Amino acid sequence: MRDQALMNTYNRLPATMVRGEGARLWDDQGREYLDALAGIAVCALGHAHPAVTEAVSRQAAELVHVSNNFRIANQEALGERLTHLVGGERAFFCNSGGEANETALKIARRHAHERGIENPGIVVTEGAFHGRTLATLSASGSRKVQAGFEPLVQGFVRVPFGDAAAIERAAANRPGIVALLVEPIQGEGGIRVPDAGYLRQLREICDRHGWLLMLDEIQTGVGRTGRWFAQHHEDITADVTTVAKALANGVPIGACVARGDAARTLVPGSHGTTFGGNPLATAAGLATLDVIERDGLVERAGVLGERMLAGFRESLGSTPGVRAIRGRGLMLGIELGHDCGELIRRAFDAGLLLNVTAGRTIRLLPPFVLDDAQADRIVEIVSGVVHQFLAEQEQAS
């Protein structure tokens, strides 16, 4: 088997995907699937979108890569677009969300040292996921991603997610805090949506203490929640915003967008990347933003999300064993009272691709290009497998 040449880092489903179109995928046996995961929130425009295909093909025929020792026109154009959408001033382009968060952490530490703080602290939250580099897995709130990689990077102060008062207590007990890193909605943590006003509270706390507010919008950003960025639901702007996943519809890219002092912290020699922001990736990013804006897909994500939430609440809301149905835009979670990882395979067998995260939460991150019938079909299949699963759990107990 050729997969024996690969490190055993994934529990893969028994399918080799060979073709995609919109919200559909086909495997090498010709079987069709409805994709409610979008490459884990990446393919917002679905698969093989013609505008992205054309932009990548055109750019590949001209220039794929040149080092950041030179100006890159696409990178500058995407930086201008992205900072405008976020509300920032300057962007650093890299290759992934983990690298974007690593950049944010380096900004926070350098910002602290420039102010004479030798042992800086960064507040993070329980249940968070920020990446798999040593620093970002240390910032994450999951022992699953940390186990076996000790000693962890120090300097993180952990508080419960959604609890602004806990941050105030941390400030009183730990001198030298300089920043707060948080996801507006926890994705890997189980699609956990904080109470309204939480992000505004974080902004006020950071302003009062002189900290950097750093928002990890890797999963929530670029329209997934029904606004360009989730922070805009509460009319705030972070000092540092990290972006990746949907930014180039599957071409590897990440970005760290900053404003104020944070935008001026990194200088030549303090940070860098070989591949980040190359002409190919940024061409894909520009094309992706063009289509999302042209076709009104941010608003569409909000409308579709409400449609699907209403469908799930009608079909599952009164079902014993369903603990919660939650989400915002096309970032949806259904929490059950039992571990339900096996539902990934059950849905797969029914022709639907989804994910289970935090053990008990079905996670749905479909592309923004779903039509209404596809959205309803996702609700129908998920509801069916959940009802069957919970009935079996009841019989077994």
- Whether 216 is a known active-site residue: answer yes
- Whether 245 is a known active-site residue: answer yes
Catalytic residue chosen out of the listed positions 216, 239, 312, 368: 216
The DSSP code for 152 is P
Q: What is the 3-state secondary structure (H, E, C) of 321-364?
A: CEEEEEECCCCEEEEECCCCCCHHHHHHHCCEECEEECCCEEEE
Q: Give the total residue count for the chain.
A: 397
145 CB-near residues (< 8 Å, 6+ apart): 129, 132, 137
Catalytic residue chosen out of the listed positions 239, 245, 312, 368: 245
109 CB-near residues (< 8 Å, 6+ apart): 120, 155, 178
Catalytic residue chosen out of the listed positions 129, 156, 161, 368: 129
- Measured between alpha carbons, how far is residue 353 from residues 115, 164, 300, 382 in Å? 48, 36, 21, 10
Which has the closest alpha carbon to 217: 86, 109, 108, 347? 86
Single-letter amino acid code for the residue at 391: A
Instruction: Tokens 């797969």: give the residue.
Output: 348
- Whether 106 is a known active-site residue: answer no
Q: Write out the catalytic residue numbers.
A: 129, 216, 245
